[in-house]
C-alpha cells in the first residue's frame, strides 16, 4: 500500500493491513515505540478516533484498514464545512484522549490521519508519541514550529510535547482543510524559508471569521489544553460530542485477531 520513513504497509484483506519496519535500527526503534504506545493507550480504554491495533508481534503490527488519508482528500476535493467540523472534532477527541493519558502524538499531519469506510477520521502512526512534557526531538513544518528567542527557553527546538505543540499542528490541519492546501503551499517556499517564517510567527494572512480565529489561537498557543479546543468544535454543534461514532466491537476485534494469528502461524 505504501511506505514511509520507518515502515512499509501491506494489505492482507479488506479489513486488515500489516505494518513492517524497514531494516534499519532507527526504523525498528520507531516501530517498537508505536507498539508500546498502543499498549499504553489500551490500558486507559479505547477511543474510536484512533485506528485500532488488532494484533502485534515483534516487527509486525496489524491494523484496521482505512479508505483514505486526509492528505489525499485535501488534494483531491474541496472539503465542505460539515465534514471539516466533524473531522476536526474527531481529531481533537482523539488527541484529547491521549492528553488524558499524559501522552502527545507529536506527528499530527494529514498524512497520518485516515478516514474509514464510513468517512470517520482515525488517527494513525503513533511512532513519535512521547510523554507530555518531554522535548520534541523533531518536527515537520508547517505542523510544527521551532521556538524563537522571543519564546524564551528552548530557542531553536520544537518545544515540549503538550497542548501548545499539539494544537499548533491541529491549527495547520484545520487551515489545510478550509483552504485545500497546507500553510504557505501557495507560495512554494523551500523548507528553510518555511521554517523561518513559522519560527518568526509570520503566519499566512487570516480573516476575522470564526474558523480563522480558531486557527490563529492554535498557532499562538492560546488553548490551555486540547480538551479546551475540542469543546470549541463541540460548541459548533449542540455542545455535546456530536461527532462521536461507535467504534469496532470486541467481537469484531476478536475475529480479526484470529485472522492475524493464522497469518502469523503461516509465517
pLDDT recorded at residue 26: 72
pLDDT recorded at residue 67: 86
Going by their DSSP bridges, the two strands 68-69 and 113-115 should be labelled as antiparallel
Question: Residue 79's closest CA among 110, 48, 125?
Answer: 110
Contact 103, 129 (CB under 8 A): yes
Domains defined for the chain, CATH in brackets: 2-66 (3.30.200.20), 68-235 (1.10.510.10)
Contact 100, 94 (CB under 8 A): no
Mapping DSSP to helix (H, G, I), strand (E, B) and coil, where does residue 16 land? strand
pLDDT recorded at residue 22: 84
Contact 219, 141 (CB under 8 A): no
pLDDT recorded at residue 28: 81
pTM confidence score: 0.94
Average pLDDT, consecutive stretches of 10 residues, N- to C-terminus, the chain (267 residues): 80 94 79 93 96 94 94 91 97 98 98 96 95 96 97 95 99 97 94 97 97 99 98 96 95 96 88
pLDDT recorded at residue 59: 86
DSSP per-residue letters across 102-157:
TEE----SGGGEEE-TTS-EEE---TT-EETTSBPS---TTSS----GGG-TTTTS
CA distances 113 to 107, 108, 137, 147, 257, Å, are 10, 8, 21, 25, 23
pLDDT recorded at residue 21: 87
pLDDT recorded at residue 30: 83
Grid coordinates representing 252 are 469484531
pLDDT recorded at residue 233: 98
pLDDT recorded at residue 3: 72
Amino acid at each position: 500500500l505504501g511506505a514511509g520513513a520507518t515502515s512499509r504497509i501491506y494489505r492482507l484483506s479488506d479489513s486488515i493491513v500489516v505494518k513492517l519496519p524497514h531494516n534499519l535500527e532507527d526504523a525498528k526503534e520507531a516501530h517498537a515505540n508505536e507498539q508500546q504506545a498502543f499498549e499504553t493507550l489500551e490500558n486507559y480504554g479505547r477511543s474510536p478516533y484512533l485506528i485500532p491495533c488488532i494484533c502485534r508481534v515483534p516487527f509486525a503490527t496489524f491494523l484496521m484498514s482505512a479508505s483514505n488519508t486526509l492528505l489525499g482528500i485535501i488534494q483531491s476535493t474541496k472539503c465542505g464545512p460539515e465534514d471539516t467540523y466533524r473531522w476536526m472534532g474527531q481529531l481533537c477527541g482523539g488527541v484529547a484522549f491521549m492528553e488524558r493519558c499524559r501522552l502527545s502524538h507529536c506527528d499530527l499531519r494529514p498524512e497520518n490521519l485516515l478516514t474509514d469506510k464510513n468517512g470517520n477520521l482515525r488517527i494513525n502512526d503513533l511512532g513519535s508519541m512521547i510523554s507530555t512534557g518531554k522535548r520534541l526531538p523533531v518536527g515537520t513544518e508547517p505542523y510544527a514550529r521551532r521556538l524563537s528567542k522571543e519564546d524564551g527557553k528552548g530557542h531553536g527546538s520544537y518545544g515540549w510535547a503538550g497542548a501548545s505543540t499539539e494544537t499548533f499542528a491541529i491549527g495547520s490541519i484545520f487551515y489545510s482543510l478550509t483552504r485545500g492546501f497546507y500553510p504557505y503551499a501557495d507560495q512554494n517556499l523551500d523548507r528553510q524559508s518555511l521554517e523561518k517564517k513559522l519560527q518568526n510567527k509570520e503566519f499566512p494572512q487570516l480573516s476575522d471569521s470564526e474558523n480563522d480565529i480558531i486557527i490563529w489561537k492554535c498557532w499562538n498557543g492560546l488553548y490551555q489544553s486540547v480538551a479546551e479546543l475540542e469543546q470549541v468544535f463541540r460548541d459548533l454543534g449542540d455542545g455535546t460530542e456530536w461527532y462521536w461514532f461507535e467504534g469496532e466491537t470486541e467481537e469484531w476485534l476478536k475475529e480479526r485477531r484470529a485472522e492475524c494469528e493464522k497469518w502469523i502461524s503461516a509465517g
